[in-house]
A and B are shown apart, each in its own frame.
Chain A
Amino acid sequence: MIEIKNISKRFGKLPVLHKVNLECKKGECIALIGPNGCGKTTLIKSILGMVLPDEGEILFNGRGIKDDFAYRSQIGYMPQIGRYPENMSIRQVVEMIKNIRQHKTGYDEILLNQFLLPQIHDKRMSTLSGGTRQKVSASLAFLFNPDVLILDEPTAGLDPLAAELLKDKILSEMGNGKLVLITSHQLSELDELITQVIFMQDGNVIFHKPIEALRIETGEDKISKAIANILKKQAA
């Protein structure tokens, strides 16, 4: 579904991505993990066309995304830090995005309603807490029933109840054969969701493995321990 071929990116002198190659298929739930500043968000933004790679190409359903924009109608993106026009209310933001996208088939407002956002929809974005903003971001990502979900640190800042609701939603979407790409530091929260792990460090992909292979290889059940195990082996 998404193929990343040899992409590199520098911000000025700083190399952020170095010849990254990846392939993501339908029905997978991929955890993109790695230390801070390893290029996870840059990789995600490259897929979205918000960051333009210096080299290499990204294919979405077999077609290059360079100079294309329509493919983004099949992606729901939840940013790490949702930035919204501060003087707009929640309802205005949702209505505006609906208006601009002119989506033909129905909206998926399950998460929007579960997060009880309609009750506070006249609040301005500037008055919202970080967690509520995250809820708005998550609701918007799922709103148009996209084939691909890209969630950057989805559970950071969410209360346990909301995080649980979001996890259930991700699980049910995976059941519908969608591709889900998640970055997170809270590995324990991901255990029940993910099928694949991509580990990045300093702009390089260290490994990309199915979770089962990882468990067998390391003999650990928890993802966090399995990864720690691999890293130790590499250091040795």
Chain B
Amino acid sequence: MDQIYNNSYLFMAIFLLLGIFLPFATIWVIGPFLRPHNPTKEKISTYESGVEPTGDAMVQFNVRYYLFALLFVIFDVETVFLYPWAVAYDNLSSFALIEMVIFVFMLAVGLAYAWKKKVLTWD
């Protein structure tokens, strides 16, 4: 048993070394020989086909992003309960179904609340 563990650590170490080595090799060692060197003004801009970035990176976000995030986090975390329920569904009694219906109903009330309070619309 220990042997297998040690071996798998060895594999991990090899993968780690390769993983560190390969990017360096491609960027600085092999890359310069293979890639064409033809810089133009467009190519050296930050986003070649995007908008030029302006101003500081530390800007204030619109607070509405935050409201969406808040709502997302809550509903996202609630699905934690749906997964074990779904996995164990075959072994559960019909009561589990009723319980989950109640749970989802309560979540739906929460969603309706957010909707009515105009969290889901932008303006």
- A and B bind: no
